[in-house]
Every structure is written in structure tokens, then in C-alpha cells.
Amino acid sequence: MKRHRGDPSRAADAGFLRAERRARLRLALLVWIVPYAALFAARYGLGYAKLGQPLSWLPVLLGLQLFATIGMVRDLRHARALVGLAALLYLAYFSGLVPGFAAVSSVLPQLCIVALMAIALWLPFSSGQLSLAQAGFMALGAYASAWLTTGSQWPFLPALLAGAFGTALVGFVVSYPALRLRGVYLAVATLGLGEVIRIFFVNFEPTGGAFGMSGIPRYTQTWHLVLTLAVVCAVLFALMRGRIGRAAWAVRHDEIAAAALGVETTRIRILTFTLGAFIAGLAGGLQAHYVRFIAPENYGLAALIDWLVIVMMGGYETFVGPLAATVVLGTLPELMRFLSDWRLLLNGAILVAFLVLRPNGIIGRELLGWRFSPMRVARDGAAPVAQPRAAVEADASKVLLAVEGVGKRFGGLLALTGVCFEVERGQIHGLIGPNGAGKTTLFNAITGLYAIDAGSIVFDGRPIHDLRPQELLRRGIARTFQNIRLFGHLSVLENVMLGGHARMKSGPLRCALGLDRREERAAAQRALQLLGLLDLEQVAGDAAETLSYGDQRRLEIARVLASDPALLLLDEPAAGMNAAEAAELGRLLRRICGELGKTILLIEHDMELVMSLCERVTVLDHGQLVTSDVPAEVQRHPAVIAAYLGSADTQTCTPGAGRHDVRVAACEGVP
Amino acid sequence: MSDIEFFLQQLGNGVILGSAYALIAIGLTLVFGVLGVINLAQGELFMVGAFAGLVCLEQGFGLTAALLAGAAVAGGVGLLIERIALRPLPAGIDPHIPMVSTIGAAVVIQQVTTKIFSTRQHPYPTPAVLAGSVTLGPFQLDYVNLFIIGLAIVLMVGLTLLVQRTRLGIAIRAVAENPRTAGLMGMNRGFVVPFVFGVSSALAGLAGVLVGIYFNNIGPFVGIPIGLKVLAAVIFGGLGSIRGAVCASLVIGVAEVMTVAYVASSWRDAVAFGVIIVVLLLRPVGLFGSPVAQKV
């Protein structure tokens, strides 16, 4: 089976495919013919003769071209082959096999520093925070450590570490207010912070002001840099492929869904931000003691743009992208000396060209999938002992969830007023009502996304309405969303493992040291089991976004099951399903309730499903409780009929007729 | 000159600078409104416009031609940015990506300009029409300053009327609110977005000519600091709000001039960034912005 990158449904369209092939042919011409034509024209037409030693820059140009081609190739295998080819090229290049060029050692230190900075920029971005203060952080690390070695005569290593930890401290402090900001706002605020740091050093006389600091001893050896980079990469590899990496991905793509899965979003954001600052500070210290002269202008926007180009071009899904792009772009300036006047221009043009060509960067996660995916871990090793939580304790009270007089207002709108009902343990409980009745609002209140204004919510005998989503998940309340909130680029298996996030214990340190492997394997195997239960085993390795709608709905259920909750809140699980699929879902929910001993509270507009499945049904209308009873009684309740059909005087509510109307209403609710 | 006169003089300078910033800021905020993109190349468009005006003035074409050239060239370059660096990006892409793409465009524009005009500062001639001044009580008002403020006010009012009153303005606001629904209502997003981008860029270009005349010189590297200051103003005023952008631009212009007058000129750029950070932390939606609730 051929695996395509990008959207498979688009690839299926033949006309589109032809047009795209033509477009790619044009791109290939642009990448493989135009640069040489331009160079020839410059050399022979314009007499711009300083082409230097062609052998010294030809491999680099080839590498850039290969990189661009990787971005154009749709077939994963071809793309991987090209990656291999490019790797060989650079290996030969760095090992000095290319004649006419042996000065690799002069490039390597600078390359390592750039790579560290690219990673420092990438790390906060991995959890969705584009921190443009990294140049400022680098300056902090550089100035602090240089000040310690020259002014206070500290030895190199303590000074370096002090600078790095000092920068990390600043990053840690900054990361708290940064939590209030999202997306481009954060980017702009950190851009301002970075510039303020730079302007501070311009005005700070003890470190030479705008003229900079010179006479810093040269302590940094090339092997220091290589070793640091290797350690950083090893740690990040271990950290980002496991629990913490998945959590960062979740925070980046959907913070609300991440919180609902029990991910401590705040902690993840602070962790990645602080680590990013730490690495920037470290790189700064190493750089200061390598180049021996530092000045504020080195930490301005130009440097930042270099790293941004690297991260965006390489691909920000894993740290491998920035690393690869560092090799490709970092070797350009040193070697294309004859183009050095045009370096910045080329950088800008390359940035735009690559973003347009492949907005997610060249080295995507799927390209490296086999390393970063837990599939292998899951498939080998012995089958684990299934250990579902003992759901119904003998002495537990019958009522699992009690909603007592809950009220919620948005401005002048009373979304919920005095809603009271109880959900009994081990039952499937339906929550119905016309659109705008307050069903989802109630879900959001129960799962801690909204603070309620009145009443209380009691779960398992304890009030829970003050708790955050993460704490609620740990107590055993898990939910799905009305509009599916899966992590589309992650595999089906990883989505389910994210569901198990709160049940796993490995923290950042354990993950970074690779001590989380056993837990990872157990989690992966448990996730596979759950996928088996929901008939999704066959697609475990596929990206979640490639699943059909019905499969995605079931995957959401598998994902909440992974957190091993006592109570599942399902928001319209049958929306968009046909009658057969809905019936299948009903059987599945009954199994979850019976075999796994879960309690289910579900919002659903499919009346046939609700009435056949639920042991009790609660009806809301205009934020108020209409009734909470067994299905047969609910169907006869005059207020319910009035709520759905407008008036109850002449019509008798047959399930079929009612269902049709409700279906229409449900369609309007689909965004 | 007494202290109070000095202060008032500085205040006036701040207002002039601020109204030039406001012209650029309006464009930035409009583009954010319809595209949801922070165009970090806005400062470069300002610079390109200034250089186009400079060429015209040096060739002796006069003020009107310079203003038109500034607007036309900046507008054209803006359209190119939209066409090359933004439109090909797929819908639903990570919101950081278009912003980063405009950074790339900004670098290209800046570098091309340095290739054409070299990296040095260029003297900017004052057009003959604007030489001279009127005396009003204790104050001496240069024609240049009056012209800058006057033109800025005319353009701001005109643009506000365009957005608030005309059919096109309704289309612009509709696209800003919800591009898909606007499309279903027959509004042509394929026209509205380039139109807004072009107008925004042209405004930045006009401001470039005005600021060039005001400071009597221009260099190819002014784009970045100006762009960032205007960005500060737009965030201060609330992204997407025209009123906010104008008010905040005036505040930032005055604050900058006062910093130079009373503190030190090397801190002038820090003012804008300080404002960004403080505003974002205290009131992330800005002065006139309204918070957007996320649907769960």
C-alpha cells in the first residue's frame, strides 16, 4: 500500500492529481534548473565572476535542493529515500571526502550553536508558544557567564551553568505571565521582551554598552559544543517521544481537549518555556567563550530570523526538523561566500518559499514515524493483564453523580437555573432537550470548564464543582466533545495513550532519562486492547484525521476510556451516524456499561437510541429541568412533548414522528 | 524657551509622529481584521513607500507625485506579499505560520532595497510647497507638520467612513467577522482581502513619504523598528480596532518623543516594547478590543 503525505481524499481526485503533478513539475524545474541557470547567467552574462570554488559550495546547494525536493515528494518512501540521500551527502561532506574543501571544523562550532538556538526556539513552540525572546535569553546567558569568567574570575563550567540556570530562572519567571497569552499575542509580547533585554544591554555600561564586551577567554572547545548538542538531542528524544511529548503536542493543538484528558497544561507550558530559555542561555554562554566578543547587536532580530527560518523550514513537529535544517542552512553562509552579500535576502526568500511549499516544514513527524511512534513498543512484549478499575464497590452508594440546583449565567442569559437530578451508578443516563436547552453547558459545568454560579455538583459523595478539569479526570470523570476534538496528526494509538495520560506517572525527569519505557509499553498495550474493544485495532497506526467520521467518534470514546473513568460524559456520540451505526454504538455503550462497569451520561438527539438505551432520561429546556424519569414516562410527559413539538394539545407523540423533528433540530446544531 | 513651551513643543512633535504611526497602524489592524494575520512586513512597506517618494522628489516631480508614488509602490508590493507569501498557505494552518511568512517577506523587501539604494541613510528633500511656517502666538507651526497632521486626519476619517458607511465597507467587516458566511452571502473574499491588503500597504507607503519629509532622511533599516512600534500601538489599541489603533499610535508617538526629550534617545525603542508587554499582561485584548469567548 502506498502511503501518501497530506490529505488522502485530495489525492484520490484524479483531476486534482494531474494539476498537482504539473505544479510539482514546475517546482522541480524551479528547484533543479533555475539556480544553475542563474549562476551561469551571473558568471557569463553579467560577468559576476566570483563564483569561488564550485566544489566547495556545490554539495551545499545540492543539499538544499534535495531538502526542497523532500518537501515536494508525496510518497513517504520516496521522501525517506531522499532523506537518506541527503544524509549521505552531508556525511561525505562533513567527513572531508569532498575534494577542495576541508575546513569543516571551522563550520562545526557555529553550526552547533545555531542548532542549540534552533532547538531553544523550537521547544516552547512544541507546546504552542512561539517565544521570540530567545535572542534576548541567549544574550542573558552570554553576558552572565562572560561577566563571571572575566569579572569574577570564575572557572568556565560553573560560570556557564550559572549563566544557563540564571537564564532558565528568568524564563521560568516570564513563563507565568506568558500563560495568560496565546498564539500571536505571546509571540509579539516575547518579541518585545527580547528587544527590551537587548536595549538594556545597549544601555548597560558595565558590560560595554553598545560596543560590547571583548577579551572573553576562549574556553569553549569544539567538542564541548558537539557534546552539549548530543546530550540535548538525546534528552529531547527521550522526553518528547513519551508521555510529556504527547502532552506538549496536545497542548499545542487543543488546550481544552488536553485539559479534559488530564494534561496539566500549565505545567507543560512552563516546562517547555523554561527549558527553551535554559538551552538558549547555555548556547549563549558557550558562544560567548567561543567567539570571545559579544555585543548587543548580535542578539537582535537578524539572528532570531535565522533560527526562525531553520525551525519553520525544518519542521516544528519534532526537534529533528530544526536539527536537519540547521545542517542544510547552517552550511550555506560559510560556503557560499561569493553570495554573502545576498545571504539575508536568500534567507528571507527561502523562508517564504519553504513555508508556501510545505507549511508544516520538511521533516514532518510521519517521515520519522517509526522512531517516534509507540506502535513497535505496543506490538512486542507479553500481553498485559487487563486490570480495569473495580467499578462498583459493594458498599458504595447508588448515586454516583448528583446535580443539585445548578445555575449558570452568561451576562444576562440564564443558561441553567436550578437544575437537579441524579445519575445512578452503573446506569446509562440520557440528557436530552431542544437546542440551546443547556445540555452542553451542564457538561462543561460538570467537567470543570465553566464555574457554576449556584448549586453544587456532588460526585461519589464529594462536591466537585470547584475542581479543575484535570483533577476531575483523576477523580474519574471523563468526557467527549460535541465537535470531535481528536489530535488529527497523531496516530490512533497515540490518541488513546493521551487518554491514559493522567493514569501514567512518568514525569519529565523520568522521561528524559528513558526510565519510562516499561510504563509506555504497558500504556500502549492497554490502548491497543481498548482499540480492540472498539474495533479500531486495524487502524491503530493511522493518523486520526484519516478515520471516517463514525470511527473518529468511537476513537473519542476509546480515548476517554483510557483514563479509566467511573463516569463517562458523552456529548452527542451518535451525531452524524446512520441508523445502523447508531445501533452498533448503542450495543457498544451497553458493553462498556456492563463489562467495564462504567456509568454513562450522554447527550443525544437520536431519540430512538436514547429511549432504547438509557435507563433514565433527564430533559432540559431553556436551562431548566423538565423531568428526570424512566424513558417510558418521559415520552408521555406533556411538558416534554411541548418542549419538542411546541404544543401538546392535539398531537400524540409517537417515537417515530418525534424522532424526525428532533433529527432536524439536531442538524441545525451541527456547526 | 521655557520648560512648559519645550514640553508643548515635544507634545506637538509626539502627536505628529503618532499620527504618522496611526496611518500605518490602521493598515495593520485592518489586515488583521480580514485575514487574522499580523503583517510584520508593514514597516517595510512604509520604508518602500518612503523610498518611492524620495525618488520622485529627487527627480523634481513634486509632493503630489511623491505621495502617489509612495502609495502606489507600497500598495503594489503589499499585493505581491499577499499573493506570494500569504495566499498560497492552506486554510486552517497554524496561526503563527502566516506571521512568520511575512517576516520572510520583510527581510526580502529590506534586502532588495539595500541592493538598490545601498545601506546608508538618504537625505529627504522638503518639497518647496511645504517650506515655511506660520506663527501662532508663542508657537511656530511648520507647514510640514500641519500638512502631515491634516493629511493623516483626512485619510483616517475617509477610511473610517469607507469601512462604516459603504457597501464595500460592509463586505470588509463581514469578511472580518466570518469569511465563510460572507462568501455564502455573495461577498467576494478573493477581492476583499487583496483590496484591504493593498489599501493598508498604500497607507503605510503614504506615511513613509510623510515621515521621510518630517525627519528629512530615510534609511533602508527603519522598517523593523517602525513596524514593531506600530505593532505595539495596534496591540495597545486592541487588534482589529481602528479607533484603538489611532489612539494608541498617538500615545506611543508622544511617549517616544518624551523619552527622547527627557530620558535618553537610546531607550526610545524600549518604550514601545514596554507598552506591549504591560498592555498584554494587564489587558490582553487592548484598549478597545473585546474578549472572544472560545466555544467548547
| 3-state per-residue secondary structure call for A130-153 | CCCCHHHHHHHHHHHHHHHHHCCC
| Backbone torsions φ then ψ of A401, nearest 5 degrees | -130, 130
Residues A356, B104: C-beta atoms closer than 8 Å: no
Q: Give CA–CA dist A86/B168, Å, rounded.
A: 51
- Per-residue model confidence (pLDDT) at position A648: 45
What is the DSSP pairing of strand B133-136 with strand B122-123?
unpaired
pLDDT tier for residue B188 given thresholds of 50, 70 and 90: confident
| Range in A134-138, B143-147, B187-191 with the lowest mean pLDDT | B187-191
Given this model, what pLDDT does residue A5 score? 54
* Amino acid letter for position A317: E
The mean pLDDT of chain B is 85
Q: Which pLDDT band, with edges at 50, 70 and 90, does B293 fall under?
A: very low
Nearest by CB: A355 against B38, B89, B295 = B89
* Residues of chain A under the 50 pLDDT cut: 1-3, 6-11, 382, 384-386, 390-392, 394, 648, 650-671
pLDDT for the residue A131: 93
* CB-based contact B284 A181, cutoff 8 Å: yes
pLDDT in tens, A90-130: 888 877 776 655 555 677 888 899 999 999 999 999 999 99
Give the model's pLDDT for residue B51.
95
* pLDDT score for B294: 46
Q: What pLDDT was estimated at residue A166?
A: 96
Question: Cα(A211)–Cα(A373) distance, rounded to whole angstroms?
Answer: 49
| Segment B108-139, tens digit of pLDDT | 999 999 989 988 888 988 888 888 888 777 67
pLDDT of A280:
97
| Per-residue pLDDT at A47 | 62
Closest Cβ opposite residue B100 in set A185, A203, A308: A308
Task: Tell me the mean pLDDT in the region B242-253.
Answer: 88
The domains of chain A are located at: 1-102+300-372, 115-295, 399-485+565-669
Contact A191 B228 (CB under 8 A): yes
> Residue written as cell 523593523?
B224
**ipTM (interface predicted TM):** 0.86
Quote the pLDDT of residue A647.
58
Q: Are A43 and A117 a contacting pair, CB within 8 Å?
A: no
B226-246 confidence digits (pLDDT tens): 888 898 888 888 877 888 888
- Residues 213-252 on B with a CB inside 8 Å of A are 224, 228, 231-232, 235
Give the position of cell 451542564.
Answer: A442
End-to-end CA distance of chain B: 61
- Residue A12: per-residue pLDDT: 54
Task: Provide the residue ranges of all domains of chain B, joining segments of one domain with +.
Answer: 16-222
Distinct helix (H) and strand (E) counts, chain A: 29, 10
The minimal CB distance from B105 to the residues A181, A256, A348 is found for: A348
> What is chain A's alpha carbon radius of gyration, rounded to the nearest angstrom?
29
A305 contacts on B by Cβ (under 8 Å): 103, 107
Amino acid at A32: W
**Are B210 and B17 within 8 A, CB to CB?**
no
The three cell numbers locating residue A294 = 559579544
The pLDDT, as a whole number, for residue B8 is 85
Record: contact B111-A348, CB cut-off 8 A: yes
**CATH superfamily label, A399-485+565-669:** P-loop containing nucleotide triphosphate hydrolases (3.40.50.300)
Residue A272: the pLDDT is 95
Q: How far is CA A111 from CA A218, A637, B35, in A?
A: 17, 74, 37
Contact assessment for residue A599 and residue A613, using Cβ atoms and an 8 Å cutoff: no
Cβ contact, residue pair A345, B115, below 8 Å: yes
